[in-house]
Amino acid sequence: MTAVSIIGTGNMGSAIAALAQQGGHDVQSIAHASDEAVTGDVVVLAVPYPALGEIAEARREQLAGKVVVDITNPLDFETFDALVVPADGSAASELAAALPDAHVVKAFNTNFAATLASGTVGGQPTTVLLAGDDADAKARVAGVVADAGLSPVDAGGLRRARELEALGFLQLTLAVAEKASWTGGFALRD
């Protein structure tokens, strides 16, 4: 069993909390504005991209040695037409630089809350793509995902977070433009 702390209680934070509980893990849900201490070994940052820097600064010592999961898509929320990180960077790499003593994993950013809650996309288990440089950290997150019946897929090192964020950006822009459903997504078959 893994102790999972989730900072952020919106749609995604609630969906991730439910799937972790479904998988038999202990879950702590913390409101973004709360100063409640983090107790989990895996900490999911279920907040908008602009909040990452603030959380990293305020909780740097608490997050040292922990697996920190970045679910953000760093898009321009005013236009929904661009990512706001450099072309060779990612929100996850920025977070890793701000939290050098944590093990950052990119995950859940290519999923909508509805597909996490239902556990399926097109009749297949929901695929959760993971990227990170620490194999043990990715394995812990993958375990939480798999225990809930979803399909974790290792997409590579943290440098792959850029592509995951681009995919998440594409999905969001299609959903906002009503060209794709908020209950849709993709699933990978074996």
Mean pLDDT per 10-residue section of the chain, whose length is 190 residues: 95 97 96 94 97 96 97 90 91 97 98 94 92 98 97 97 94 89 79
What is the predicted pLDDT for the residue at 190? 63
- pTM for the whole structure: 0.95
Domain segments of the chain as ranges: 3-176
State residue 49's pLDDT score.
Answer: 96
DSSP collapsed to 3 states, the chain: CCEEEEECCCHHHHHHHHHHHHCCCEEEEECCCCCCCCCCCEEEECCCHHHHHHHHHHHHHHHCCCEEEECCCCECCCCCCCECCCCCCCHHHHHHHHCCCCEEEEECCCCCHHHHHHCEECCEECEEEEEECCHHHHHHHHHHHHHCCCEEEECCCHHHHHHHHHHHHHHHHHHHCCCCCCCCCCCCCC
- What kind of fold does domain 3-176 have according to CATH? Rossmann fold (3.40.50)
> What pLDDT score does 184 carry?
86
